[in-house]
Amino acid sequence: MRLGVLDVGSNTVHLLVVDAHRGAAPLPAYSHKTELRLAEHLDEAGKIDQSGADGLIAFTKDAVQLAEDKGCESLLAFATSALREAPNGEKVLDRVRSETGVDLEVLSGDDEARLTFLAVRRWFGWSSGRLAVFDIGGGSLEIAAGSDEQPTVAVSVQLGAGRLTREALAADPPDKDQVRELRRRIRLEMAAVAGPVLRAGRPQRSVATSKTFRSLARIAGAAPSADGPYVARTLNRDDLSEWIPKLTKMTAAERAALPGVSAGRASQLVAGALVADAVMDLFDLTALEVCPWALREGVILSRLDQLQPR
């Protein structure tokens, strides 16, 4: 069957069309996305402004038409922290529903962690043993760990790269005192969740997903995306530690010139690198394997699991 998946994130709104059936890997057939940056379309009260809501509705209308053009049987549509946390999120959802016919499902942070974990488990398989999975989004960091397809622990922390950049790194390049204070904040919040995750058992395989981790791995020497999803990619802690001082001294434009870093996300890379560094330090990891599957694939796989076998 052919499915359309509409992913409304804090940074990017993405329509992915896949050919999939139960028991098989979903194969991407078409992709359409834009960096709407919904989390930046906030007024003083934290509400999504008119421009942000209008942009989301316009993209959703395009997504509905494209999904129809590509022959999709159904459209799975979900949203994450930007709509989940906005005080007027329900009103925006109502507008999307009434003007496009699409009913966006707002995932909780724990659901994000759980579904991302499912995708990583299916990608690496049972031989990985106990998995730990880390995903840095625009608004939050998801952490999940376990030995089955459902994680034993699944948590979401408000340590997204976009959120931290907006709240703590105003200058370009960032002020060194702001970087130091943000580093301290990240580690305090990370330490509060590291204990419960580690008490459940140390991972045999530690995995990172998300654009932030992929960009950091790429600038540290991992293979480019053009080499395909099956090439092994790793982010080493020593390499990240060498790059962080360099990244903090660069402007966003200079970071955008690095391999694997888009102009739209370059401003968030310092905050993302600080979160990644804290993950590897507090969880005592020398390296993270980068998985090409993440939340979108988890949503697809979960949907396929609900279908009756032929």
**Confidence at residue 24, expressed as pLDDT on a 0 to 100 scale:** 86
Sequence-ordered list of residues with C-beta below 8 angstroms from that of 24, at least 6 positions apart, any chain: none
pLDDT digits (tens, 9 = 90+) for 213-234: 999 999 999 999 999 999 999 9
Examine domains 2-106 and 109-295 and report if their fold is the same: yes
Would you call the peptide bond into 173 cis, given omega within 30 degrees of 0 as the criterion? yes
Extents of the domains making up the chain: 2-106, 109-295
pLDDT at residue 308 greater than cutoff 90:
no
- 163: tokens are 């959120």
- Cα 175 to Cα 180: distance, rounded to the nearest angstrom: 9
Length of the chain counted residue by residue: 310
The distance between the two most distant Cα atoms of the chain, rounded to a whole number of Å, is 60
**Phi and psi angles of residue 88, each rounded to the nearest 5 degrees, phi first:** -105, 25
Q: What fold characterizes domain 2-106?
A: Nucleotidyltransferase; domain 5 (3.30.420)
pLDDT digits (tens, 9 = 90+) for 32-83: 999 998 988 988 888 999 999 999 999 999 999 999 999 999 999 999 999 9
Characterize the bridge pairing of strands 205-209 and 287-290: parallel
pLDDT digits (tens, 9 = 90+) for 240-286: 999 999 999 999 999 999 999 999 899 999 999 999 999 999 999 99
**Phi and psi angles of residue 172, each rounded to the nearest 5 degrees, phi first:** -135, 105
| Contact present, 51 and 59 (Cβ < 8 Å) | no
- 156: tokens are 């979401």
Sequence-ordered list of residues with C-beta below 8 angstroms from that of 268, at least 6 positions apart, any chain: 11, 138, 161, 162, 164, 165, 212
User: 309 falls in which pLDDT band (50, 70, 90)?
Assistant: low
- Cα 257 to Cα 269: distance, rounded to the nearest angstrom: 12
CATH superfamily of 109-295: Exopolyphosphatase. Domain 2 (3.30.420.150)
User: 307 falls in which pLDDT band (50, 70, 90)?
Assistant: confident
pLDDT digits (tens, 9 = 90+) for 146-188: 999 999 999 999 999 999 999 999 999 999 999 999 999 999 9
**In 3-state terms, what secondary structure has residue 9?**
coil
- Cα 288 to Cα 275: distance, rounded to the nearest angstrom: 13
**Confidence at residue 46, expressed as pLDDT on a 0 to 100 scale:** 87
Sequence-ordered list of residues with C-beta below 8 angstroms from that of 137, at least 6 positions apart, any chain: 9, 10, 11, 80, 81, 112, 160, 161, 162, 210, 212
**Confidence at residue 306, expressed as pLDDT on a 0 to 100 scale:** 85
| Contact present, 26 and 20 (Cβ < 8 Å) | yes
3-state percent helix, strand, coil for the chain, nearest multiple of 5:
50, 20, 30
Burial of 217 (0-12, 13-18, 19+ CB in 10 A): buried
- Cα 100 to Cα 93: distance, rounded to the nearest angstrom: 10
pLDDT at residue 310 greater than cutoff 70:
no
User: 126 falls in which pLDDT band (50, 70, 90)?
Assistant: very high
- Cα 296 to Cα 21: distance, rounded to the nearest angstrom: 15
